[in-house]
Amino acid sequence: MSQAKVDKYKEEKKNRVKILKKQKAKKAATIFVCAALAGLIIGYPVGKGLYKVSVKNREANATFAASAYDTWFNQKWAGNYSGVIPAASDTDAEASTETSTENTEYMDEMMDKLGLDSTDFEQVTTEETIVD
């Protein structure tokens, strides 16, 4: 062996621990970056698709609170049939004014999402409401 090769070998042997640490760190960083990219490339479209399916399922199975329906129905009843049966007292109406506005807006929004209209509900005639 030539002297240059011997010196190079001695230098490599002396710094072998440092060189191995650098190689291991570089390999670990490369694996981490590749795994993150693979996760991004695969995970993003799959996650986005699952989210869209979830949103569609929630909209298809949308329900609304009973209190919102009650408020909507009471307002509909009062608007169409208030002369048939006397309405509740004024103090009851004043207490629920704020929540009834919110509930009505919520109910209208849900009706729009479900594709329903107030005409979709069966209209009750005054003859049917009178009980003998």
* Per-residue confidence band for 66, with pLDDT thresholds at 50, 70 and 90: confident
* Per-residue confidence band for 129, with pLDDT thresholds at 50, 70 and 90: very low
How far from 23 is each of 7, 15, 16, 31, 36, CA to CA, in Å?
Answer: 22, 12, 10, 12, 20
- pLDDT for 26 beyond 90: yes
Cα 83 to chain centroid distance, Å, stands at 43
Q: Choose among 107, 98, 114: nearest CA to 76.
A: 107
What percent of the chain clears pLDDT 70, i.e. is strictly above it? 68
Single-letter amino acid code for the residue at 113 = K
pTM tops 0.75:
no
Per-residue pLDDT, 97? 57
* Per-residue confidence band for 90, with pLDDT thresholds at 50, 70 and 90: low
Rounded Cα distance between 81 and 38, Å, is 64
* Per-residue confidence band for 42, with pLDDT thresholds at 50, 70 and 90: very high
What phi and psi, each to the nearest 5 degrees, are found at residue 76? -65, -45
Q: Choose among 98, 74, 94: nearest CA to 85.
A: 74
Selected residue with higher pLDDT from 107 and 31 = 31
Helix, strand, coil share (%) of the chain residues, nearest 5: 80, 0, 20
Selected residue with higher pLDDT from 42 and 116 = 42
- pLDDT for 118 beyond 70: no
